[in-house]
Structure 1
């Protein structure tokens, strides 16, 4: 019986990165092409995302970049969702996890989230691939394991720690996607909807009296860089997480 896509994914995720068959190929002139492997597929896919954004990545585009047909890709990657898992797994593999230290657990969890943010921002829009996906790739699960270890070392109750990981990674994913979308608009000179702070202040000042707080606190509402907001938001989330420790 032919394995289901889920069985194929589960089987391959048990292998070390790069394991699996490769296909030797020859180009039209008889020269050897790069073999099709899972690692080659990931490398090429990340190159497309880095140049043109995640929205440009399709299986057809990927096959063209590898000078092959879609059927050759499906011998190694089950579908686009499987490719998404592989891409996120590769980025997670580049994150350093500290040895959990109860004395600095807050700084450690912020450090992991910041590394994940920076990985996503290198590849515009790629955090979209992490939404609504239950992690099964070992490198992705390694991040969950590391974050859980840090929170538990900090004395956070296990259920609260588990839900905190969901909340923190969701925020990192959404933040990274928003920044990527804004940057892509600016890069494409499609910044008509990217409003400057000065323009926001002008608009807020012109609001009617039914928006008294927005008018009064316009400076505060528009203050700081995007990374300032990231740091403050993470800090507030972690302050909330810290309340879930036995007294």
Structure 2
């Protein structure tokens, strides 16, 4: 099966149950994905190229194309692998809000293991079976909570988008902070000082509430935004 046919087969009914075919080449799709994830974990998503993966596998880029159509296909495989690690609960109307939050937190933690990889999730169509599984699970939970189908569908999209963008922003900030002249981006005291130093007449609210604007530790801001979205869905 050539790479394009293999990619198409992933989206066909019953594809998940189909037995994998043996390949003549020593390199497998699983090895390509493993190697790509190791590269991203070590150097960040921006370092990921087909050539870098090929070099790590001690082969040429042409060998990869026997298994992966292109970089976009590799991105889809990577996000699918991470989504496959997420456990979905049986939808429960009594705790549906906590269930949505927990799934989002799992997805966040998967993305943060691989700096910047959520960029691939932002650009990927949600048709990979594992990615679609997450969408199906989130939708089922929202519907169990009593949300109208249209509201549930858009809320799921907003939640997944927030997870990906949050992780990407954090990855970018950490990369910037690695340079001495930009270390302040993760220094809350320095950021607060810069905000309070703004002209108060021009920025009265920013200078007055600099502490609130820079507050939050760990994933407190992430949790706040996710809860805000979920509470908004509940009110509708």
TM-score w.r.t. structure 2 length? 0.91
Pairs within 5 Å for 1:137-152: 137-152=128-143
- TM-superposed deviation, 1:76: 0.8
- 1:183 aligns to what SS in structure 2? helix
Per the alignment, residue 56 of structure 2 pairs with 65
Per the alignment, residue 106 of structure 1 pairs with 97
Unaligned runs of 5+ in 1: 25-34
Pairs within 5 Å for 1:17-166: 19-24=20-25, 35-166=26-157
Does residue 10 of structure 2 align to residue 9 of structure 1?
A: no
What is the aligned length? Answer: 232
- 1:23 aligns to what SS in structure 2? coil
Unaligned runs of 5+ in 2: none
Q: For residues 80 and 193 of structure 1, what CA distance do their matches in structure 2 show? A: 34
User: Do the aligned partners of 2:3 and 2:69 also contact (CA within 8 Å) in 1?
Assistant: no
TM-score w.r.t. structure 1 length? 0.87
Pairs within 5 Å for 1:175-214: 175-187=166-178, 191-192=182-183, 194-208=185-199, 209-214=201-206
Which segment drifts farther, 130-139 or 73-82?
A: 130-139
- TM-superposed deviation, 1:47: 0.5
Deviations, residues 143-162 of structure 1 (Å, cap 9, x unaligned): 01100110010000001111
- 2:41 aligns to what SS in structure 1? helix
- TM-superposed deviation, 1:22: 2.6
Q: For residues 193 and 112 of structure 1, what CA distance do their matches in structure 2 show? A: 32
- 2:59 aligns to what SS in structure 1? coil
Residues 202, 186 of structure 1: alpha-carbon distance in 2 compared, 3 angstrom cutoff: closer
